[in-house]
Amino acid sequence: MAGVTDTVFRRLIRNQGGCGLIMTEFTSSHGVVATTKGRTKRSVTAHYLHFEPEEHPISAQLFGSDPEVMADAAKVCEELGFDAVDINFGCPVKKVVRCNGGSGLLRDMPLVDRLLKRCREAIGIPLTMKFRSGWNEREHVYMQMARMAEDNGLQAIALHPRTREQGYAGRSNWSHIAEVKAAVRIPVIGNGDVNTPEDAVRMIQETGCDAVMVGRAASSNPWIFRQIAEYRAAGSYFRPSEQDRYEMMRTYYRMLVEKGGLDIVGKMKQFATYFTHGVRNGAKLRVAVYHARTAEDIQALVERHFELELNAETAA
């Protein structure tokens, strides 16, 4: 979720309700350590590791391949006030894997073991990890990874049951989550192909997992965590109206402007792709936003679009 789950988006999600633990964008452990050496920690929090009090509980998500650097970065996160640290062994992106980060480490179990040991020794807050089933279908390591996490004292693990070779193609194999759940005593979080509340409940039923992690689906449906909680409790859930979508989009854009930054317009255009899913004539609004040049123009386009659509809805 790099480029998506910054502090503004996380606060938007938190405001919708239903979400337990929020996680930062994944952050380079080398970058965290390099930034803090000889400087104040304020510079670290300026981007990836910046969070607001209302985001608690929140976990810092790190990637890297050097046990000492990872341990130092984890200590920085603890000092910054994070509630937990998560190590990412799942990212399939080439530039990350080339540096032996993310799912690249699934080919080096001894190094994973050293990373976990050093990080567990370095911090007192909970340590978790997310990982894939393996590098490819011939090299599944998910059971080994799960047992290694338990042996090293991690508090929970999250499994995305695709291989690195798969990327996000095909279907995730939820049976791997069930196998891991049966093999370890620490909490197991299921991840992969949870696009609706029904998917989340089915994952729990089929795998016995203790919790469900939602990533990409939340970018176009920030209500999904609330919906999952409601569906589990009552068998039905909130479905956003056109008014709800309008309020969500204008709220996110307002929060972006209030936060400030170097590329507010670029972020607005990026999220127009996500947030116009399910909006009547959303493609039309999306195109208009893409061609706008200022944040004020984009906010005005959103206001005009929904004014027309909501008026048409009332007239009908």
Q: Which of 19, 77, 91, 119 is catalytic?
A: 91
Nearest CA to 250 among 290, 295, 185? 295
240: which strand partners?
A: none
170 residue type, one letter? G
Is 91 a catalytic site residue?
yes
- Number of C-beta neighbours around residue 200 at 10 A: 25
Return the biggest CA–CA distance within the chain: 66
Say which residues have a Cβ less than 8 Å from residue 50's Cβ, sequence separation at least 6: 6, 7
User: What contacts 106, CB < 8 A, 6 or more positions away?
Assistant: 89, 112, 131, 132, 134, 135, 139, 141, 145, 164
Quote the DSSP letter at residue 53: G
Are 302 and 252 in contact by the 8 Å Cβ rule? The answer is no
The residue type of 111 is L
Tokens of 55: 């985001």
Cα distances from 164 to residues 113, 136, 194, 293, in angstroms, run: 19, 6, 18, 38
Instruction: Report helix, strand or coil for 280.
Output: coil
Q: What is the C-alpha end-to-end distance of the chain, expressed in Å?
A: 39
| Residue from 99, 87, 94, 95 nearest 145 by CA | 87
Three-class secondary structure of residue 159 per DSSP: strand
Which positions are catalytic? 91
